[in-house]
Amino acid sequence: MSGGVDSSVAALLLKSQGYQAEGASLLMLETRRGKAEDARSCCSLQSVSDAAATARVLGIPHTMIDARDIFIEKVIGPFAAAYANGLTPNPCILCNRHVKIPLLLEAANERGAAFIATGHYARIRPQNQKGAAGLMAAVDGKKDQSYVLYAQKIEELQRLLLPLGDLSKQEVRRLAAEAGLPAFNRPESQEICFAGGDEYMDMVRALAPGCPSEGPILDDAGRRIGTHCGISGYTIGQRKRLRIMNEPGGRAPEPRYVYRIDASANAIYAGRRENALVKEIETEDLNWLLPGHRRMDRFGAGVKVRSMMKPARAKVCPSGAFLSARVEFEEPQWAPAPGQSAVFYDGPTVIGGGIIKAWQ
């Protein structure tokens, strides 16, 4: 339980369905810069306190799990290293994969509990007669979070309950208000729970002190057209913080977008929007949730390269003992960022996915 409305209603629904539930909150950082930021974090002392208050209203036990050390090791450290190397990591995927789900399962095993549950908007459905679990997108496409759960192991999904998968956000808030839960009007959590706004750049510089700061911004022909403030502050498709020189004659520069980051040269390439439109990407570190697809030379799928986009039609071509794959899109996709994930779907069902390595 994060103290937010989603995990609070998940606990409410489990109790109403007859489960013997216990709330567990993961403490991953002690505080942020102020109460407003803490209210939007899912892992601070304030969030643990809010979750405990909800558990009291629900009449269920509540415990705190100290996850600070493993969170630094498995999420914050790799997050900083990725940005320092010109990549764009997804901390939610790292956290679910290496921290949240494993620690909840460990706590469940200690208590003899059969299942764990979270407030993610996604669904778990049996995929065959043996009861193998399948991960599916939520009914509410605007809130679907199946993308950030694709990297979990199948055996973890078999013990995961997702009570909100069939609900909309509006329904969840209504249920919270009707039950008098403290979190019914709590603000949405932000994507990077441990760093707000541009604060993450200071974190990267502190944890990766060798990361260079200023460097050249280059155009398609390799000519210097400006100066960037450090590659850790940029991702593919970005427009802000691009200090582009004026055109000859003092004309204002035309809009430019980051379409390549060369960490070895401390350089950023910026060009027209079409420069960041991509037909093919390479992926690695694949995780398969529908194992049958590992036997295919290629298969059609809907592919997400960002959490909130609609799946785009593509051909997935596995290679390297099915640990990597090339993805060929039917239509060019906007700004897939190396370091983010590409997740493959068969309709609403997640086939698997991997980390975007490169594109062309």
Exposure string (b/e) for 137-152, b if CB count within 10 Å is 16 or more?
Answer: bbbbeebbbbbbbbbb
**How far is the C-alpha of 210 from the C-alpha of 45, rounded, in Å?**
31
- Closest by CA to 194, choosing from 48, 340, 71, 337, is 71
Q: Which residues pair with 333 in a beta bridge?
A: 278
DSSP structural state of residue 4:
S
Backbone angles phi, psi at 164, to 5 degrees: -95, 0
Residue 77 token pair? 């450290």
**How far is the C-alpha of 256 from the C-alpha of 269, rounded, in Å?**
9
What residues are annotated to the active site?
A: 95, 193
For residue 227, the tally of other CB atoms under 10 A from its CB is: 14
3-class DSSP string for 17-79: CCCCCCEEEEECCCCCCCHHHHHCCCCCHHHHHHHHHHHHHHCCCEEEEECHHHHHHHHHHHH
Name the region of 339 (left: φ>0; alpha: ψ -120 to 50; beta: rest). left
Residue 348 token pair? 């609403």
Dihedral angle of Cα 234, 254, 271, 339, to the nearest 10 degrees = 20
